[in-house]
Each structure stands twice: as C-alpha cells, then as structure tokens.
Structure 1
Amino acid sequence: MTEHAAEAGWWYDGGVGTVTVARDATARFLRGSAGTDPDVDTDTALLVVSELVTNAVKHAPGPLRLELARSDATLVISVLDGSTAGPVLRPPDPERVGGHGMEIVTALCRYVVTEPAPCGKRVTAVLVAPELAMRAPAQRG
C-alpha cells in the first residue's frame, strides 16, 4: 500500500464468519482513523467490504487479505485472494437472485480495479466522501 494517513490489513482463513469479522475490523478502523476531513460513509464502506470479501470467500477458497488505507476523504479497500479469475460484473437484472455484488461495488465506488497478485489477484475499490464525490465524475477501471 502507498502512504496514507492510516493503514491496516488482516489475513483471514476464508471460513465461516470471515465476512462478519472483516466488517467488524473495518468498523473499528474507520472509528480509529476518523479525522476532521469529510468522512466516507461507514455503511457504504461496510457494504463494499462485505461484497468484496464475500466474493473472495465464495470464489477463491482459502486465505484472503483485507487491506484498508485512508487519506483525506478517501478510503481504499483491497481484497487479495488466491484465485486468478477476476470478479464478474454482470448487467443489471432485477429478476436475478444473487450475483449483484460487483454491480453494487462499482455503483458505490469512485473506481474498482482488479490486478494480478503474486498468488492470485487484488481487487481494489476506492470510496470518497459524499461531499467530494459530487465534485468530480466517477472512473471505472
């Protein structure tokens, strides 16, 4: 990770309860790194973490790493897992049950990018404070 005001990372085994523990760690991180700058929305951050970690647990069995980095009014959320297959962004379909995770993540984040990692891939999503999000157009990568 690059230089940020606050950074943290955790390894998880990818088993039962991983999503809950990752959300709890994220909530603690956000409380502990809050500053005077506009803050990203905690509920939005927790939803993005839930979706990215759920994808890793479902589609890349084994250990995964959640990394968070905060600077100014930006939160960078990265999930590393052991699969080389990238997440699938499906077209919107209100009739489909499930499979909306990446649709949700890309709708909420400034940008989302998947990159190869030494033992799989890294999916990174960037959230900005609502006040700043209205000032610049979103980018998808």
Structure 2
Amino acid sequence: MPTLVHRFVLTGAASEVPPARREIVDKVRAWGVPLDEATADAIRLVASELLTNAVVHGTGPITVVLSGRPGRLVIDVLDGHPAVPRSRCAQADDENGRGLALVRLLATRCAWESVGPGKRVWAEMALPMAVEVGPAEAGPRDLPAIRAKGRVGPKPASPRSAVA
C-alpha cells in the first residue's frame, strides 16, 4: 500500500486548532483505518499539542502534513519560527507546560528538525491495522476468516534532534 498523504495550511490563529484536529481524525478514518475512541482521542491530543505549540510559539503559516501507512500515522507540523521546542517542568497547579511530555507518552516516536527559516515537529503514532475478509479464507461454518495486513514502509526522515 502506498503512503497516503494529506496536507493543509493554517494561518496560525488559535481558532484553527479545533477544526484542524477534527480534520486529522476524519482523514485517518477516511483512509479506512478502524479507529477506536481511545486511538482517536490520542491522535486528537497529539495533534492539538503540536498545532497549539506552533500557534503559540511559532509563526504562521503553519503547514500540516499527515502521512499514513498500514499501522502508523505521522503528523508533521511546520512553522516559520526557528525556536527549539522545549519541555517545561510544570507544577501541579500549572495550566501549561505538559504538551511535549504528553506527545512523547502517546507517540511511538517524535522529534524536531530545522527546516529553512523554521522547524518541523513530528510525531509518529501506532494505528490499528485494517482487516481483510476473503471468501477463500472461510473458516468453520462458513464464517469469514479475518487476517491483519502486515506493516510495511520506510520510517520518516531522520530528524536531527529528538523533542526535548
């Protein structure tokens, strides 16, 4: 299966984050990925953190690129500000400062790299595998057998530095 790609651009306004988050989950579902609510919520959270950081700490326009292959999704967020993404040590009553820690927790891999005058921050997430039902694979009592598709494909381009 080839890599599925979806790209869109935001101006950098905070009001664009919720619809962009929905667009990401909707696109993954449109690709035929059987998302359960826990996986959809994880994608929404990672996307929200990456997008919000680009809006708050970066400069627009912000380019979002989704790359999907069986079993994985890469969310790339590119903005025009070269500042290095940094984790903060949030205190219990702080309302901010946990975003990159959440991304690291939910993503299988994440990193950043300088790109032109700005940066690219990305996160790779595991996805449920699509299933194929084949009539030639019918099991007992003519119930269709289900087999998962295997994972294939290259890894994302090697970043220069892991997200701190």
**Scaled by the length of structure 2, what TM-score is found?**
0.70
Q: Report the 3-state secondary structure (helix = DSSP H, G, I; strand = E; otherwise coil) of the residue aligned with 1:121.
A: strand
Is the aligned partner of 1:123 residue 2:121?
A: yes
1:100 aligned to which of 83, 98, 101:
98
Once structures 1 and 2 are overlaid, which stretch shifts more, 89-98 or 75-84?
89-98
Q: What pairs up with 1:53-92 in 2 under 5 angstroms?
A: 53-91=51-89
Q: Which residue of 2 aligns with 1:135?
A: none
- List runs of 5+ in structure 1 lacking aligned partners: 132-139
- Cα pair 1:4 1:69 within 8 Å, conserved: no
Quick one: structure 1 residues 45 and 4, their matched pair in 2 at CA, closer, same or farther if it must change by over 3 Å? Answer: farther
- Cα pair 2:14 2:52 within 8 Å, conserved: no
2:47 aligned to which of 23, 46, 49:
49
Distance in 2 between residues matched to 1:82 and 1:69, nearest whole Å: 21
Deviating runs (4+, > 3 A) in structure 1? none
Which has the higher Rg, Structure 1 or Structure 2?
Answer: 2
Q: Which residue of 1 aligns with 2:154?
A: none
- List runs of 5+ in structure 2 lacking aligned partners: 130-160
Once structures 1 and 2 are overlaid, which stretch shifts more, 23-32 or 93-102?
93-102
Once structures 1 and 2 are overlaid, which stretch shifts more, 44-53 or 17-26?
17-26
Q: What pairs up with 1:32-47 in 2 under 5 angstroms?
A: 32-35=30-33, 41-47=39-45
Q: Report the 3-state secondary structure (helix = DSSP H, G, I; strand = E; otherwise coil) of the residue aligned with 2:65.
A: strand
Quick one: structure 1 residues 6 and 97, their matched pair in 2 at CA, closer, same or farther if it must change by over 3 Å? Answer: same
Task: State the 1:15 CA deviation.
Answer: 1.3
Distance in 1 between residues matched to 2:113 and 2:127, nearest whole Å: 24
2:109 aligned to which of 94, 111, 120:
111
